[in-house]
Amino acid sequence: MYYLGVDVGSVSTDIVVLDEKLNVYDQVYLRTKGRPIEAIQRGFKQLKNKYKDKEVRAIGTTGSGRGITSFILGADCVKNEITAHAMAGVYYDKEVKTIFEIGGQDSKIILLNQGVVTDFAMNTVCAAGTGSFLDRQAERLGIPIEEFGNYALKSKLAVRIAGRCAVFAESDMIHKQQLGYDSADIIKGLCEALARNYLNNVGKGKDIQPKVFFQGGVAANIGIKEAFEKILGFEIFVPKYYNVMGAIGAALLAKETVESKRCKTNFKGFDISDHVFITNSFQCKDCPNECEVVRILDGEVEIGCFGDRCGKWNQKSHIKSS
């Protein structure tokens, strides 16, 4: 028996398979490339031959594409990213008090007390504190992003880089590069700038208590972990499955839903990868808002709509997120 969790973000889509004992049994990582449905289909194609439909006991979705993919997959539980990340963090360690999550496009902070979320904040507008910013700079320096962290560790002295805003950080970095600073020192500087930026923006005014979990794709970067530790003065922990915590949380929440409702899963089966989903959009003219409504069709059958401000189309397709 398995529990599936799917985290559909704007940059990446993660699928995890948890076994009966809730260990991570399998995981798939995909680039979303702005097409969440295709990403999901590619992912399920990979899983199709390994598992049977009836082995799935529950499936949950999270991430910005949670709604759209839930129609396609028949998710039992559709939850926001905050709740999903918190769920997974607490599952691995009941003592966790703070979760830093830094992904490709956004970042968040979650505060917990005895396993319950007490506070959170998200940043979805400023790029300076996210993974895509680091990716760009790695590219600029000609260093693979995987190596970034190790480079930072080589440095003895970080170059101070203005981290307030992505645009400034970038020009400041170029400037320092031209002045002939060592790459390792610049990278360390960048890591510190990102950590500072995160703590000053997303973490502003928050009482950050250990134990801190560092989750999301950027947690792979040991340079950032070190920068956080230097600023905060205590150790922070990167859980083993740091980059799929959202998906794990979604799977755990789905399990909880199915069990508390004592119902069977709505999972539509692995061969959704063979279906042809068509999305088209139309402009609703029923009021001056003129929403661009997106409609998803499975062959001929409409399975969901979104993009409407008033909810009239969304409701018609009986989808509820959350």
Give me the residues that bind other proteins (CB under 8 A), please.
64, 79-83, 111, 113-126, 201-202, 204-205, 287-290, 309-311, 320-322
Residue 30: partners with Cβ closer than 8 Å, 6 or more residues away: 12, 13, 14, 15, 39, 42, 43
286 binds, among ligand SF4, other proteins, none (CB under 5 to 8 A by kind): ligand SF4
**Which residue, 189 or 203, has its beta carbon nearer to other proteins?**
203
Binding characters for ligand SF4, 3-32, by CB under 6 A (x = yes): ------------------------------
Q: Which two tokens stand for residue 315?
A: 């409701």
Minimum CB distance to other proteins, residue 199 (Å): 12
Minimum CB distance to ligand SF4, residue 282 (Å): 10
74 binds, among other proteins, ligand SF4, none (CB under 5 to 8 A by kind): none
Minimum CB distance to other proteins, residue 209 (Å): 11
Residues 257-316 binding ligand SF4 (CB under 6 A) are 284, 286-287, 289-291, 293, 308-310, 312-313
Given the rule CB under 6 A, which residues bind ligand SF4? 284, 286-287, 289-291, 293, 308-310, 312-313
